[in-house]
Chains A and B, each alone.
Chain A
Amino acid sequence: MRHLPLAALAATALGLLALLGTTDVRAGTVQRLGLADLAERADLVFEGRVLAARVLEPAPGRIETEYTLREDRALVGAACPLRVFRLPGGVLPDGRGLAIAGLPALPVGADVLLFLSREGSRGTRMPVGLAQGSLRIVTLPDGAKRLVGSAAGLDFVGDAPTAVPAGPGIDYVSGLAEIASGIAARGVEAGR
């Protein structure tokens, strides 16, 4: 084995963070998107901590999860200290549920970087690129931050430049730079 002690610590930390819970069923057919792509497409891009998740059934058959996040940084969209939005899917207290294929669940307590679409016709948002639009912000024992694909157990999804970082993820600062390039592209397109 060629693992270094620090690496082992990092791996353990990532594993424990993953244990905070990921209960998503992912299966949709989706375009592959990179961070810049996500930033260019999203209506809202922000960092925050998931404070609460509440599953609702506003109408028969419509099961939605209302998330409340403390917003730490807004990258796209107006700042909002307490961000509340709904995603389709979830499991009701009676065990009934709706799994939207490919849609990530946001574990309470997790620090996340989200790329959300505008509200759809029913008032819910969608992570752009489904699971690709939901990344965990992981702080390693050495204090370094990494952006990790939101699903626990994620590993690299390819090494193509457009692939979303997963598994060990990518350096947070590098990720923000890529996101910034996507935001800049939005400006260029908006100015056309």
Chain B
Amino acid sequence: MSLRRTTLGVLVALAVASTVAAHVRLTHPSNGNPLRWASPGAIAITVNATGSDDIPDGSHLPAIQLAIRAWNDATGTTATLVENTSPGSRARSDWEADDLHTVIFDEDDSSGYFPNGTGIVALTPVWFNTSGVISDADVLFNGSDFTFTTEGVVNAFDVQDVATHEIGHLLGLDHSGWAGATMYPYVDPTVILHRSLAGDDERGLRDAYPTGTYSTIAGRVTRASDGGAVAGANVAALDADGRTIAGALADNSGNYALKGLEAGTYTVWASPLDQPVAAGNLGGGHTVVTTFQSTAIASATVGGSGTTNVGNGTAGVGADAAFALGRNTDELPLRIEPGGSGIYSLHGTGLAAGSTLAASDPDFTVVVIAWNNTVVTFQATAAPGEPMGHVDLRATSPSGDRSVLHAALEVAAVDPFVIGVSPTSGTLSGGTFVTITGAEFRAGARVILANQVYVDGDIGGCTVVDDSTITLTTRASAAGVWDVVVQDRTGSEARAGSGFTFAALPQIASAFPVSGWSGGGTLVRLRGTDFVAGTTVRIDGNLQSGVTVASATSLSFSTSAGLPGGPYVLEIETPGGATASTAFSYQADPDPAVIALDPPSGTTSGGQIVTVTGANFTADAEVVFGADAETGLGGTGADVVFLDANTLQVTTPAMSAGTTNVLVRLALTDQATVATAAFTFQSPSTGGGGGCSIAPIEGPRGPFDGFTAFLPILLALVWLAIGARRPVPVRVRVR
């Protein structure tokens, strides 16, 4: 801290805050009540379907979903964000509605919060009542003034990084004094390390929405000189390894509570909240005094629960000094990999030769290259195998003054690396098994592909087979050429640019009919996947007409004339050039056609004689009731009597009640036609209007009751007798 600020720096804010627990919470501006959700177990959050103009369509979804997941992965808290994925909710733009907590890009200042030139990248309005209960909160990105990216575009703001931070506010958290925390208030397009939570973020959530049992270290920050309380000190707990674990802001009486601690031994440090995060980065109601220097004030060993009060600790904070490490213009946190090394610079005050610099974790070696008063350049090296987390940097001046930059070093895993993707394309409907090869793949990895995210261990997610292989099966995805992104739990990522194409890669599951008249005019229906508008159809190379794409799975067209013969290649081609094929044959004779069925209905028990009139019937005609109109499959065959080319006589099979299609197929050529909804099967109880029932009726038996049992036999004999005097019909039983 500079001497100038030593003379001017005692600033006192409106002192409405009581004890500020671990991390910093948003508070009611008037009464200081912490802002919180009343039912944190299921905080609904909706990602608006319309993303940013800057990024590929739909790519904001996985980015924001991963931001949500970062908070949901926090342990020891009841808070859970539940994504509302209903298309209706995603389409809503009334983000101010209390029932919609949304993440949305405001591309044209419709919110009124982003008039041109405000410099606001994103913000989170939070509505609350007098007790501090949040009734609504939304995250708005300033899409009209800023460029966002989901693809690592230089000088654009990373959607996932910004969203993770803003969602912390949505949950009721204020800024953190830790450089490595997600709630660190300064965003830099080049830093994506805030995608994953730091210990301080997680403990902030535990503080706001606690569950389970954790320990608390409570105490009071006082001055060594006179024992006076120090308000608003930035208090940090470091574990026995020297890792930064939890943070707290002392209240205006100097009291602090470091919550959410696991059992262990901790050292407590107090530092002035002046650089790079200052009181101005916090919400109102916090009293902050910065006229002291970083000091180790206490140590405590805690169990798994309860509060250990260390009182004033073992030491009061030292006097202010013109010595400070770190500025908010530094690109913090400083990333270091296990076993890795890097050259870094930090700005500050009084960073003169003769000072020393060290990491709080002795497994990290710091060698200063140059002290230059306002900047220090140094090399830091991490021992191999170091776990993820944060480490403080401690500078000591030649006169012994000390400045600590909490959580300045973030230990991040080595970035994953993608070598290859196989296959490199898949269908829009999904189902493609993909293998990604590379290096440094770790458990919990996420793969981002198109508008989908696949998380290791999730049902339908990806599988980290080993450190060089990830597999997944694609879901239905948005069309386009997409990067294949493998992201570590920490947010570090590898990217295979344009590594996978989701395109309409049509597949034909069935064609019906598979044969038609060479004169053309046969209505052919195709079933399959990835049919898209603009698809063309060719038979034996000849373009067909009347192509209609009813859906991604249904296409029909009318054949043009062709030469009898085949089978020919029936090929479809999407506008993107993808093709699929099946077979089709041309026949010399016209297709069958159905004009009418008489009668058009019968009982579900079957046995109804029906006359089918039409054209181009042949002796090999088959009739099926209930066949699928698009595939010709299914249904129940009927006994058929071929009377002439225009008449068939069929006996209905037994079928369930309802209106059905009637298919007529010429068995020898496979030409076919379907009369849709042409025949109705009726339950006997509802058919005919007479209320006749074949169910036995209880009651006195009449003189002719026994006769009914022989009636079908009698009718059959009569029918055979009549039939015997007619020409011998061709009977075909169709199955």
A interface residues, Cβ below 8 angstroms from B: 1-4, 6-7, 10-12, 14-16, 18-19, 21-33, 37, 41-43, 61-63, 88-89, 91, 94-103, 105, 117-132, 149, 151-160, 163, 166-168
Contact = CB atoms under 8 A, between A and B. Distances in A.
Contacts of A156: 2, 5, 274-275, 278
B11 A99 contact: no
Interface in B332-358: 347, 349
A11 B127 contact: no
Interface stretch (B81-89, B112-120, B538-546, B663-671): B112-120
Nearest to B287: A153
Nearest to A162: B329
A95 B115 CA distance: 28
A31 B110 contact: no
Nearest to A146: B8
A95 B327 CA distance: 37
B98 A61 contact: yes
Contacts of A131: 280
Contact of B127 (A26, A96, A168): A96
A187 to B, nearest CB: 16
Contacts of A168: 4-5, 8-9
B11 A14 contact: yes
B187 interface: yes
Nearest to A38: B119
B328 A122 contact: no
Interface in B344-382: 347, 349, 374
A157 B232 CA distance: 16
A62 B122 CA distance: 18
A22 B14 contact: yes
A62 B31 CA distance: 21
A43 to B, nearest CB: 8
Nearest to A27: B169
Interface string B215-230: 0000000000100000
Nearest to B275: A156
Contacts of B28: 91, 95, 97
9 contacts: A18-B14, A19-B14, A23-B29, A24-B283, A25-B29, A33-B119, A126-B113, A126-B120, A153-B278
Interface in B71-125: 96-98, 108-125
Contacts of A3: 6-7, 291
Contacts of A166: 278, 280
Nearest to A164: B280
A105 B91 CA distance: 33
B388 interface: no
B68 interface: no
B280 A155 contact: yes
A158 to B, nearest CB: 4
Given A32-B328, A131-B280, A153 B5 contact: no
Given A11-B7, A41-B117, A120-B115, A157 B126 contact: no
Interface in B301-323: 319-320
B498 interface: no
B275 A158 contact: yes
A100 B123 CA distance: 7
Contacts of A103: 123
B120 A61 contact: no
Interface string B1-25: 0111111111111110000000000
Given A26-B281, A105-B29, A156-B278, A99 B125 contact: yes
B165 A159 contact: no
A153 B11 contact: yes
Contacts of B187: 29
A168 B320 CA distance: 15
Interface centre among A23, A100, A118 (most CB of B within 10 A): A23
Interface of B: 2-15, 26-31, 35, 96-98, 108-131, 135-136, 162, 165-166, 169, 174-175, 185-187, 225, 232, 272-276, 278-288, 290-291, 319-320, 327-329, 347, 349, 374
Contact of B112 (A28, A101, A122): A122
Given A122-B111, A160-B329, A168-B8, A97 B128 contact: yes
A55 to B, nearest CB: 10
Contact of B26 (A27, A120, A128, A155): A27
A34 to B, nearest CB: 11
Nearest to B165: A29
A25 B186 CA distance: 16
The 5 A-B residue pairs with the shortest CB-CB distance, nearest first, are A95-B130, A122-B112, A7-B7, A154-B280, A153-B279
Given A88-B113, A91-B29, A152-B14, A159 B118 contact: no
Nearest to A26: B283
Contacts, number: 281
Given A15-B12, A122-B112, A155-B290, A61 B127 contact: yes
Contacts of A33: 119
B281 A88 contact: no
Contacts of B26: 25, 27, 99
A152 to B, nearest CB: 4
B113 A10 contact: no
A130 B120 contact: yes
Given A154-B278, A159-B349, A129 B120 contact: yes
Contacts of A121: 108-112, 115
Contacts of B117: 41-43, 117, 128
Contact of A25 (B11, B136, B174, B319): B174
Nearest to A151: B280
Contacts of A99: 26, 29, 35, 125-126, 128, 283
A24 B278 contact: no
Contacts of B30: 23, 91, 95, 97
Contacts of B131: 95
Contacts of A31: 119-121
Contacts of A88: 112-113, 125
Contact of A157 (B29, B169, B280, B319): B280
Given A120-B113, A151-B280, A167-B278, A101 B14 contact: no
A117 B4 contact: no
A181 B244 CA distance: 43
B70 to A, nearest CB: 16
Given A24-B29, A129-B118, 10 more contacts: A1-B225, A25-B26, A31-B119, A61-B97, A61-B136, A63-B127, A121-B112, A122-B111, A128-B117, A153-B286
A118 B112 CA distance: 10
B501 to A, nearest CB: 34
Given A95-B130, A120-B113, A168-B9, A151 B279 contact: yes
B29 A97 contact: yes
A158 B121 contact: no
Contacts of A96: 127-130, 135
Given A121-B111, A168-B5, A21 B123 contact: no
Given A120-B114, A155-B11, A27 B124 contact: yes
